[in-house]
Amino acid sequence: MFAYIRGKITFQFENRVIIETGGIGYEVFVAENELTKLSCSNDEILLFTKMIIKEDDVNIYGFLNRESLDIFLKLISVNGVGAKAAISILSALPIEELIKAILFEETEKLTKAQGIGKKIAQRIILELKDKVGIKGISEYVISKNESNEKEEAIIGLMSLGYTKFEASQAIISVIGEKLTTEEYIKQGLKNLLRR
């Protein structure tokens, strides 16, 4: 179907925009976090899109980058999570927070999204934990505002199959000055192998 739409925003609503291209206005649903970055102007924008066709409905969902689209596709792959629920999750949590919530099994963060109960949140974590691991570490979890080497190392160990508790204990017990993420992971693995 459509890979992306490039055009001008002619109307903006609470959860969607109308993008005009080639004389046609396309209604595109957008997560609130991304909607706030858009505005009606003469500037052309590009939204990566996913068209979802149901028996009685056709909707287009738009994203500012491929990473957001990728997370959306992962979310809708979970049994019981439809497109509107996925947009609700992306509206409630920035991508990096969503990745952390999945990796650290923080069900309560996912239930902040409208229409997402505890069972669905647990299913999302169960089904996506292995799918967001390495990509989550490298592209989303790193924050410029804090020193994340220990946090990244914990996530790295979790992606190797250790539980959050095991990984946290192994990294917390690492003694040393400012280490790199790789050094924390190496030391953490040594601690885990000693047990």
CA–CA separation, 24 and 31 (whole Å)? 22
Per-residue confidence (pLDDT) for residue 116, from 0 to 100: 94
Residue 169 belongs to domain with CATH number: 1.10.8
Q: Domain check: are 59 and 73 in the same one?
A: no
Phi, psi (degrees; rounded to nearest 5) at 76:
-75, -10
Q: Which residue has the tokens 């291209």?
A: 21
Q: Domain check: are 158 and 177 in the same one?
A: yes
Q: Which residue has the tokens 């980058």?
A: 65
pTM above 0.85, yes or no: no
User: Tell me, what amino acid is at 155?
Assistant: I
Per-residue confidence (pLDDT) for residue 144, from 0 to 100: 36
In a domain, 158, yes or no: yes
Per-residue confidence (pLDDT) for residue 138, from 0 to 100: 41
Per-residue confidence (pLDDT) for residue 184, from 0 to 100: 85
Final residue of a domain: which of 64, 88, 114? 64
Full residue range of the structural domain in which residue 170 is found: 149-194
Residue 40 belongs to domain with CATH number: 2.40.50.140
In a domain, 73, yes or no: yes
Q: Domain check: are 73 and 16 in the same one?
A: no
Task: Profile the chain (195 residues) by mean pLDDT over runs of 10 residues.
Answer: 90 92 95 86 89 92 93 95 95 88 88 94 91 53 51 83 80 75 86 78
In a domain, 139, yes or no: no
| Cα–Cα nearest to 104, from 181, 157, 37 | 157
| DSSP E strand stretches across 13-146 | 16-21, 24-30, 45-54, 57-63
61 Cβ contact list (under 8 Å, min separation 6):
28, 29, 30, 49, 50, 51, 52, 72, 83, 87
Q: How many structural domains compose the chain?
A: 3
Q: Domain check: are 107 and 123 in the same one?
A: yes
Q: Are 84 and 50 in contact (CB under 8 A)?
A: no
Q: Domain check: are 168 and 188 in the same one?
A: yes
Q: Domain check: are 91 and 127 in the same one?
A: yes
Task: Specify the 3-state DSSP secondary structure of 141.
Answer: helix
Q: Domain check: are 74 and 127 in the same one?
A: yes
Phi, psi (degrees; rounded to nearest 5) at 6:
-115, 130
* Cβ neighbours of 193 (radius 10 Å): 8
Per-residue confidence (pLDDT) for residue 177, from 0 to 100: 62
Per-residue confidence (pLDDT) for residue 176, from 0 to 100: 66
In a domain, 143, yes or no: no
Per-residue confidence (pLDDT) for residue 160, from 0 to 100: 82
